Amino acid sequence: MPKGVTKRRPRTRAALLESALAAFAENGFHATSIEQICERAGYTRGAFYSNFSSKEELFLALFDAHSERVIARIGTLMDSAGAAQLTLQGLVELLSDIEPAERDWYLVTTEFTLHAIRDRQAAWVLAQHDARLRAELTRCLTDHLTRAGRALTVDADELARLLIAIREGGLAQSYVEPDQLPPGQLERSFLAPLLTALTVRRP
């Protein structure tokens, strides 16, 4: 492959991903065509198919990129936490932090999840990507608890599932009633007592 094409490929891929996220959030996953994504990004269908085999593959690339950003952000915040923040409440603050841009991602991922519930193959693939995200979340969670002098009394992966369920369920209510329930409020209210009940002090 010519060097020029090799150098352009990451930029093309990034532009298609950015375009797809905006189009999916605005119009929906199913209602957005590959042509609309390409037009919005300024590329041809050929450029699309040089990077992705389908809209599903493109979505999963978006999923992985979003997961990496979230985990990297949490990891950076945890690594930079001072001694005063190495507490359960400090962990709660990290888990309750929700960026304004999260709304677009919530719209996109919720619709794709519904699609996956109806399509067994899509469900299987999404589950693999979910598992990788949970593994990273579990690692960050256990590392912070260890540094805070706490140990889990429940399975870490199951706790990660619960935390994700609380986050996604809370966001659904927050985006419907933003004035009544700001994003992250449920986590700030209930995660500290929950984590206290599910951990013990390390020897």
pLDDT tens readout for residues 157-203 = 999 999 999 999 999 999 999 999 999 999 999 999 999 999 999 87
Q: Please give the radius of gyration of the chain, using alpha carbons only, rounded to the nearest integer.
A: 19
Question: What is the tens place of the pLDDT at every residue in 35-82?
Answer: 999 999 999 999 999 999 999 999 989 988 888 888 887 777 777 766
Query: Is there a single domain that holds both residue 32 and residue 119?
Result: no
Query: Is there a single domain that holds both residue 76 and residue 91?
Result: yes
Query: Is there a single domain that holds both residue 45 and residue 60?
Result: no
Query: Is there a single domain that holds both residue 59 and residue 84?
Result: yes
Q: What is d(CA 172, CA 168) in angstroms, rounded to the nearest whole number? A: 6
Is 117 buried (19+), middle (13-18) or exposed (0-12) by CB count in 10 A?
exposed
90 close to 148: Cβ distance less than 8 angstroms: yes
DSSP structure string for 55-108:
HHHHHHHHHHHHHHHHHHHHHHHHHT--GGG-SHHHHHHHHH---TTHHHHHHH
Measuring CA to CA, which residue among 76, 84, 94, 83 is closest to residue 195? Answer: 94
**What is the CB neighbour count within 10 angstroms for residue 185?**
15
Query: Is there a single domain that holds both residue 12 and residue 75?
Result: no
Q: What is d(CA 31, CA 49) in angstroms, rounded to the nearest whole number? A: 19
Q: What is d(CA 151, CA 3) in angstroms, rounded to the nearest whole number? A: 51
Query: Is there a single domain that holds both residue 46 and residue 95?
Result: no
Q: What is d(CA 201, CA 150) in angstroms, rounded to the nearest whole number? A: 5
- pLDDT band for 1, please (50, 70, 90 cuts): very low
- Tell me, what's the pLDDT at 4? 47
Q: The domain containing residue 157 runs over which residues? A: 55-201
Question: What is the tens place of the pLDDT at every residue in 83-134?
Answer: 666 788 888 888 888 888 889 999 999 999 999 999 999 999 999 989 988 9
Query: Is there a single domain that holds both residue 168 and residue 185?
Result: yes
Specify the range with the lowest mean pLDDT, choosing from 2-11, 144-153, 191-200: 2-11
- Pinpoint the alpha helices (H) of the chain: 3-27, 34-41, 45-51, 55-79, 88-96, 102-118, 120-147, 156-176, 185-197
Domain of 146: which CATH number?
1.10.357.10
- Tell me, what's the pLDDT at 171? 96
User: How many domains is the chain partitioned into structurally?
Assistant: 2
Query: Is there a single domain that holds both residue 105 and residue 184?
Result: yes
